[in-house]
Structure 1
Amino acid sequence: MPPAWQRHPRYFILVALVISATIYVLNPYQSPLRADSYAAYIRDNELPAKLQRADRVYSEVITSRKDMIRKFGPTPRDIVMFPPDKEPWPAYTVWSFFPPSYHCPHELERIGSLGDGGKWACGMSRLEHKPDCLIYTFGMNYETSFEAALLERTRHCEVWGYDYRSNSFGSSIKSNYRAHFFPWGLANIDAHGPNDEHKLYTLKTLLEMNRHDHIDVLKIDIEGWEFEVLTQILQPYIASGEPLPFGQLLVELHTWEKKFEDFLPWWEMLEAAGLRPFMTEINLVYQNYNRGKDTDLAEYSFINVRGDNIFITDPPSPLDVGI
C-alpha cells in the first residue's frame, strides 16, 4: 500500500502549510517587520513616533489657520475676536483659530476640582516617582485643588506657589514640607523694593533665588498679565535657541480688549518657543456670571516639544547609566 502522503497529497500539503505557519508565528527568532510593511506602520507606538505624528497634525492646523484668516479677513487686522450678532454671522470666535490640536503622548486628565480650579494636564504619571519634580504655580487666590492633588499623588514633587492676593495656600493643602508659599506676584519686571506695595518678581529671578534650573509644570493665572509676562519669559529663549526651562504650561488667557492682530503674533511667539496646545477649556463659569458679554477667558494647556523634559523624553534606565 502506498504511503498516506501519496494517497492524499492535497491533504498532506494542507497539513504541512498549517504546521509551517504555526512554527513561523511562534518562532521568537523570526526576522523583524520590514520598515515598509503595514504592520510596522501601525506598531510605531514609541514616544518619538507619537511626537512625530503630533507634529505633522499640528503643522496642518497652522496651514488651516492661515486659510481661515484669508477667508474671514483677508488679513489679521480684519478679523474680529468675537463677531457681532448680525449678518453675515461668520461661524467663528477667536478660539476657533487656535484649537488644541497637538496630541498629548501620554494620559490626558483633569487634575484638581471640577469647575473652576482644576487644570487639564498631560502625563502626570511621569511625575509620580520623579526625584527632582518641581511645580511652579502663580495666581491661586486660595484655590489650590490642583496643587493639592499633585502633592498627594507624587512622592517627590515640590510645589512653589506665589500670589500677592493671598497669605497662604488654600485649605485643600494642609501642612506639607513639599509646599512653599510666598505672597509675591509674577511680573515682567522685578519690583520688590521697600516702597513697592506688591512684591513682583520675574520667573528668571525666582529660579535664581530658589536655585532651580527647570520646572516640570508651570501654572499661571494672573488676570490678563500673562501676555506681558510670557513675552518677557519666552523672548530670550527664542533669541538664543535654547529650550524653555519648563515641560508644560497651564495658563488661563484673558483676552479683555485684545485685538486679533495683536493676539495672533503673541500666540505665534508661543509656537516659536516650542509650545503646543493639547487641551483647552472655555471658562463657562465666568461666562455664566457675565451673560451677554464675550467669551473672553479660556484655559489652555501646552506641552514644550523642545529640549529633553520628562514629557517628551524617556528617562534613562539603570542599564543606560551603568547602575
Structure 2
Amino acid sequence: MVSAINVFVRHPRYALCLVLVLVPALYLILPLHYEPPVSSLHIPLHDYTDLTSKVAQSEAIYQHTIQEREGLIERFGPQPSDLDLFPPNTPPWPPYTVWDFFPAAFNCPHEVRRIGVLGDGGKWVCGLSRLAEKKDCVIYSFGINEESSFEAGLLANTNHCKIWGYDFSVKGFAKQIPYSQKHRTIFHPYGLAGTDHVSTGDEPTMYTLETLMKMNGHQHIDILKIDIEGWEFETMTDILKSFSEKGLPLPFGQLQIEIHIWNKKFDYFLKWWEGFEEAGLRPFWTEPNLVYVNYADSRKPDLAEYSFLNIKGDNAFTS
C-alpha cells in the first residue's frame, strides 16, 4: 500500500494512466447486477427429434412472445384501449401496427408448405406430410369464392383426404379441382355461423361448426379453412365458447384463416386473439394481404392470413 502511494507521489502521470486503464478493465471483468430486458431472456434450445419435446420447446418460445406483447402494449398504451390498430400519421408517429403485436411465433414441428396459388388464395400448412396416407383425413373449407387452388393442392398431396366445402355465394368448388379428384369433395351452399338458421326465403342457410360435423358424422377435422369476409370474429367466438363450455378441446388440428380487421378496436381484437390462445391455437405463419392496399392509398393493411396449430387435444400434427 505504501509503495503504491510512493509511486503515485513520484510518478503522478504514470499512476494516472494506470488508473485510466484498470478502471474500465475492472468494469468489464467484475460481475454486475443486471436485469435483462424481456427480449434478451434466455430460453434453452435443443435439437429435439421427438415430437412432444419439439412442441414443448415451441410453446416455451411462444409464451416468451406473449410476455413481449405485454411489454409492447405497456410501452405504447399503457392500456390496450389506448392503442390504435393503425396509428395516424401524426406526431409522435408510434412505430407500430396491430400486426406487430401478434407475430406467428410458434414453430411448426414439421415442414411448412404453401398450398395453392401464390397471392390471394393459397395458404400455409404445417406438416401436410402427416396427412399424406391418413385414412380418415377430413378437411373443411368455408369460403370458396371461385378460387379452389388450396383445396386442389391438398387433394394432390394426400391420398385419402376428403374436403367438405361450404359457401352460399357460389354453386360449387372452382375449376382448379380436377375431374379425377371430384369424388373426394362434397359441397353445400351453406354458411358458417354461431347459430343455426335454415333459410325460408332469400337469406342463406347457416349452420354452426358443431351442427355440420354432426350432420357429416365427424368427430374431428384435420384442417379447417375459414375465409368468410369479417364474420370470423363472431363465428370463432361462438365456436370457442361452445367447446369450452363443454370442457372439450377444439375439434380441429389446424386452422387457416383470413382475418378482416375492418372497423375493430385494438382491445377487442386482443381479447378475441387471447381466446384463440386459451383454446390452444398457436400461430405458426402469417402473410399480410396487401392487394387492396395497392388499389387505394387510403386503405389500411387490415387483411392478414394466419395459420394456427392446435396444441390441445389429439391430432395428427402434435400427437
**TM-score normalized with structure 1 length:** 0.82
Tell me which residue corresponds to 1:202.
Answer: 208
Give the Cα–Cα distance (whole angstroms) in 2 for the partners of residues 152 and 243 of structure 1.
Answer: 29
Give the Cα–Cα distance (whole angstroms) in 2 for the partners of residues 105 and 128 of structure 1.
Answer: 16
1:1-323 correspondence runs (5 A)? 42-175=46-179, 176-195=182-201, 197-313=203-319
Gaps of 5+ in 1: 1-40, 314-323
The 8 Å contact of residues 61 and 105 in structure 2, kept in 1 or not, is answered as: yes
Question: How many angstroms does 1:86 deviate by?
Answer: 1.4
SS at match of 1:241: coil
Q: Supply the AA of the counterpart residue of 1:312.
A: T
Question: How many angstroms does 1:42 deviate by?
Answer: 4.1
Moved more, 173-182 or 270-279: 173-182
Question: How many angstroms does 1:43 deviate by?
Answer: 4.6
Q: Supply the AA of the counterpart residue of 1:59.
A: Q
The 8 Å contact of residues 238 and 272 in structure 1, kept in 2 or not, is answered as: no
C-alpha change, 1:232 and 1:42, in structure 2 (3 Å) is closer
SS at match of 1:287: helix
C-alpha change, 1:51 and 1:199, in structure 2 (3 Å) is same
The 8 Å contact of residues 147 and 174 in structure 2, kept in 1 or not, is answered as: yes
Give the Cα–Cα distance (whole angstroms) in 2 for the partners of residues 197 and 63 of structure 1.
Answer: 44
Give the Cα–Cα distance (whole angstroms) in 1 for the partners of residues 232 and 150 of structure 2.
Answer: 19
Q: State percent identity of aligned pairs.
A: 54
Give the Cα–Cα distance (whole angstroms) in 1 for the partners of residues 199 and 90 of structure 2.
Answer: 51
Deviation string 1:216-242 (CA, Å, 9 cap, x unpaired) is: 000000000000000111112223332
Question: How many angstroms does 1:209 deviate by?
Answer: 0.6
SS at match of 1:265: helix
The 8 Å contact of residues 292 and 299 in structure 2, kept in 1 or not, is answered as: no
The 8 Å contact of residues 151 and 157 in structure 1, kept in 2 or not, is answered as: yes
Question: How many angstroms does 1:152 deviate by?
Answer: 1.4
Question: How many angstroms does 1:197 deviate by?
Answer: 2.1
Give the Cα–Cα distance (whole angstroms) in 2 for the partners of residues 122 and 286 of structure 1.
Answer: 27
- What is the count of residue pairs matched by the alignment? 273
Q: Supply the AA of the counterpart residue of 2:121.
A: G
Deviation string 1:190-224 (CA, Å, 9 cap, x unpaired) is: 11132352111111111011011100000000000
Q: Over aligned residues, Cα RMSD in angstroms?
A: 1.2
Give the Cα–Cα distance (whole angstroms) in 2 for the partners of residues 52 and 128 of structure 1.
Answer: 25
Q: Supply the AA of the counterpart residue of 2:95.
A: A
Gaps of 5+ in 2: 1-44
The 8 Å contact of residues 237 and 273 in structure 1, kept in 2 or not, is answered as: no
Q: Supply the AA of the counterpart residue of 2:61.
A: V
Deviation >4 Å, runs of 4+: none
Give the Cα–Cα distance (whole angstroms) in 1 for the partners of residues 128 and 244 of structure 2.
Answer: 27
**TM-score normalized with structure 2 length:** 0.83
Give the Cα–Cα distance (whole angstroms) in 1 for the partners of residues 146 and 314 of structure 2.
Answer: 33
The 8 Å contact of residues 188 and 229 in structure 1, kept in 2 or not, is answered as: yes
Deviation string 1:164-183 (CA, Å, 9 cap, x unpaired) is: 11001100013311111111
